[in-house]
Each structure stands twice: as C-alpha cells, then as structure tokens.
Amino acid sequence: MKKLLILLLFTGIALSQNASDLQNNRTITIYKDGFATLKEPITWNLQSGRNVVGFTNLSPNIVFDSPNLDLEGVQILSQTMNRNFNSSDVYLKNNIGSQVELKPTGTSAIQGTLLDVNGSSVSINTNKGLMVFQRSSIEYLNLKLNNVSNKFTPEIFWEIFSNEEKSINAELTYLSSGFSWKPIYKLELNTDDTSAILSVDAEVVNHSNVNLLGLDINVVEGVLNQVGVKRDFISSRAVSAPMTPNGTKLGDFYVFNLGNDLNLKSLETIQFPLIPKRNISYEKIYVFNNSEQDQRDDPLDIQISFDNSQENNLDLPLPSGVAYLYERNIDGSLGFLAKNNLNQLYRGGTASFNAGKASDIVGKRRILNYDRQNKVEESTISIQVINTSTVSIKVKVVERIIGDWVVKESSTMYIKDDASTIYFPLEVEPGSSQLITYTYKKEWK
C-alpha cells in the first residue's frame, strides 16, 4: 500500500523548479498588510517555433491575476492559469477518518485514525485513546492512501514562439498573500539618563504553508491597497543576517534589504536585524498634563525622546513599529520599562515614548479661584511639582484651555504651544519643589 507523506503540512512547499537554478536570486519583498511580491528566476530550453512551458511551484496564496513573466528574444502568445488545486489542510480534512502515521518530535511514530486538523493542532484516535499534537511539534504525518489525484499548488502555462532553438532565462513576478512584517525597536537606556543603544529588527511572518529557502528578503515601509489576510502562526525565532545600513526607494515607499540566502519557513515568525545598533542620545523629561477643571495629586509621566538626526548618529527613514524600552541598571542587569507604538519617523523628526509614572515626582493642581459671569470666565490655578528624588529633573507642565482665552498673569514663564495649550518648562532640584500660579480669562459673544 502506498503512503502519501504530508510533509507540506508542516514543512511547506519549497518554491523551486530546479534547486540548483532557482535558489539564486529568488526574491521576496514583503509589505505590512499581509502581501508580498515574489520573484522566481526560470530557465527553459526552447525549440524553434511554438513551445508550451510551465511553472508549477507557486504559492497557493497567489493573487491569480498578478503574474508577470519578464523575458526577451521570444514572443509570448498566451498565459494560462490553472486554479484547480487544494491546500494540504483541505485535503486532510476531506480525509478525516483515514489511517495515519504521525511522528512527534523526539519520540517514535504513532498510528491511528485522523479525527481533526486545524491551524494549531492535529487530533488522532490511537489504541491509547484520543491524542492531540501541536503542529509545531510534529516532524511528519503519513496519510495511508493507495493513490492521490489532487493537486496542491496552482500552475501557470505559457505558449511561447521562438525563432530558433535556444535556452532562455526568465523572471516570474507575482503577488501572494500570507506574509507580513513589522519593525521591533529596542531602546536600552543607560543609567546616566542621556545615552542609549537603539537596535531595530524586522519581524517577518510567514502565515502560509509555503517554505521559502535561499531567499533575498526585502521589506517595505508602506501599505498596499489590498485586503489583509488572517494572521496565524505557531512558532518564532530570531536569527542574524547581513544587512544594509540604509534602505532604498520604491516609488514613495522605502525598501530595506534583510540579507541574501535566507530561509523563511512555513508558519514561523523570524526577527532579522533591520538597522545596525546605534549609540544615541536621548532626553528624559517629566510631564504633568492637565485640563481646566482638574484638581488632583498624581505622579508625573516619564517621557523619553530622541532626535532622528545626523548629530544623533541616525538621520534614517525609521518605519512605524513597536518600541520596547529597557534600562541598564547599576549592576548591569536589564530591566523592562515600557512598550509603545512608534509612528513612521522622518529624517529630522523626534520620537517620544511614555515610560510610565515617576513615583518620586508628584504634581499637585488646585483651582484657587473660579468666577463665571455673563459671557466672562476667570480662573486662578496653582500647580506644585515636588521632586523627592536624588537628582535634578526637567519638567513640562502642560495646561489645556478651550475657547477664546488669554493668560492675565503668571508667576512663571510659559510657552503657548497652540490655540488650546500652554506649557511651563521647569528644572527642579533634588529634594525640592516649584510652585506655579497663573490666571486665565475667557470671553465669548
């Protein structure tokens, strides 16, 4: 009895027509919205006259009207796409109740009846009862069938006219769903509160059941006008890869190269270095945010910021992603501070992160006087910032006032940020406090 070895369920489908030919210069360019562009080099030996040639090792997630064949010296008469194929999951689900042999990692093979297949697990009925296995821990699954007539990948065929017998090189480019990426920023703050180490990785996700081996991998900062796909993956790992210090341009998008001859296996999440580690300077400031009617005693927010400038060892296009903040303690250990989202940062811009609340820095806000008459409102505010720490700190006291207002008087210099915001920049010495009082007036018709 013949056996169908369903390796494609767990190890994917290797996209190679000829391993020696196609593992060179194979390229994937991944966008952030679940799509990627794949480029496959192909070599054909043509006869003089009409030829029918094909390529079968396509991603099952191919966007069917996207393939483009690039070749010279011949005439392409037609292109035909065969969409009649099943995924391995669909095929297995259609064979629920069949006998299988399953080998978990690190143990011997187990035989039984296939009961269920889903995105994360496989269930079989054995002589010991029901057993459920995580797909990430399965080396292979044998489905015991006499014959298999189903196809598991789409196919493309071309009718090509050549004036002579010759060998030609072509490049097939197509769009496929099932791939995404995002930048992961890690900022390690030193104990001096002025310098940090910034590292940026690209977290690449292969949501498909396709193994891609020997790849040039590019990632794009930008979003295609396409509908995203469901994100489903079961394992992750981090690897080292060569990289370029700067990205290139693709229209209005930035393209970052992650390296050559890389592997992107099915259902994995992999982190590749995106930008080399940089020593940068940062600023720590404590922020007290208030609106008109606030009366409270609260610890201040900690704000960490750095400039994306040449003077700060950066001046790079920084894509939007997730940022993790850590602090290097005096004993050398690394402690986690906060997680933030980072918007796309242009050259010359400033990135700001919230690093939580400061237990040693407290703000107190009181409304000392409030008078509202017909079409006129006046209020006097008292704000005290108390620094119980052992270091001098920078503070930004932010006040938001809505309407047509003016500040009549203030005990401290302030800056008008916009039509509804002023702030007071302060420096507070250790073990001391500063008091602000100001009065604003509103009028309306």
**pLDDT of the residue at 147:** 58
Angular region, 49: left φ>0, alpha ψ -120 to 50, beta rest:
left
**CA 318/CA 310 separation, integer angstroms:** 13
As a whole number of angstroms, the distance between CA 168 and CA 72 comes to: 8
pLDDT for position 396:
96
Q: Which of residues 143, 159, 178 is at a domain's end? A: 143
Q: How far is CA 92 from CA 11, 55, 119, 141, in A?
A: 15, 25, 12, 10
Res 400: pLDDT = 96
DSSP letter, residue 312:
G
Q: Is residue 167, in this structure, part of any structural domain at all?
A: no
CA distances from 342 to 33, 347, 430 (A): 17, 14, 32
On whether residue 387 sits in a domain, the answer given is yes
Per-residue model confidence (pLDDT) at position 162: 93
Q: Which of 61, 65, 116 is nearest to 267 (CA)?
A: 61
Q: How many domains does the chain have?
A: 2
CA trace torsion 253, 255, 256, 262 (10° rounding) = 140
> Whole-angstrom Cα distance, residue 298 to residue 426?
17
Q: Is position 120 within any domain?
A: yes
Q: Cα separation of 350 and 354, whole Å? A: 13
Beta bridge partners of 250: 253
Distances (CA, A) of 252 to 68, 224, 394: 22, 12, 39
**Residue 429 maps to a domain:** yes
Yes or no: say if 283 and 427 are a contact pair by the CB < 8 Å rule. Answer: no
Residue 392 belongs to some domain of the structure = yes
Whether residue 303 lies inside any domain: the answer is yes
Structure tokens at 422: 């002023």
Q: Give me the domain span that covers residue 387.
A: 282-308+349-443
Residue-level pLDDT, tens digit, the chain, 445 residues: 344 444 433 333 333 333 334 345 789 999 988 889 999 999 999 999 999 998 877 887 888 888 999 999 999 999 988 766 555 666 777 788 888 888 888 888 899 999 988 877 899 999 889 999 988 788 888 877 655 555 556 788 899 999 999 999 999 999 998 899 999 999 999 877 789 999 999 999 988 777 888 889 999 886 555 444 333 333 333 333 333 444 454 445 688 899 999 998 888 899 999 988 999 999 999 999 999 999 999 999 999 999 999 999 998 888 889 999 998 877 778 889 899 998 888 889 999 989 999 989 999 999 999 999 888 999 999 999 999 999 999 999 999 999 999 999 999 999 999 999 999 999 999 999 999 999 999 988 7
Predicted local confidence at residue 120, as pLDDT: 78
Q: Which residues contact 192 (CB under 8 A, 6 or more apart)?
A: none
Cross-strand partners of 154? none
Buried b (16+ CB within 10 A) or exposed e, 250-280: eeebbbbbbbeebebbbbbbbbbbbbeebeb
Question: Is 68 part of a structural domain of the chain?
Answer: no
CATH assignment at residue 365: 2.60.40.290
Strands lying side by side in the sheet with 405-410: 405-410, 432-443, 376-387, 350-373, 296-307, 283-291, 393-400, 421-428, 415-418
First and final C-alpha spacing in the chain: 92
pLDDT of residue 224: 53
Specify whether the CB–CB gap between 316 and 296 falls below 8 A. no
Position 201 scores a pLDDT of 94
Question: 109: domain CATH number?
Answer: 2.30.30.100
Name the one residue in this structure whose structure tokens are 């011949």.
Answer: 74
Single residue among 143, 171, 199 that ends a domain in this structure: 143
Identify the three-state secondary structure at position 145.
coil
**Residue where a domain stops, chosen among 120, 143, 166:** 143
Q: Is 293 contained in some domain?
A: yes
Which residue is associated with the tokens 């060892």?
A: 313
Query: What residues contact residue 90 under an 8 Å CB cut-off, 6+ apart?
Result: none
The Cα-based distances of 255 to 29, 222, 274, 323, 409 in angstroms read 8, 9, 11, 20, 52
Amino acid at 261: D
Q: Would you put residue 127 in left (φ > 0), alpha (ψ -120 to 50) or beta?
A: alpha
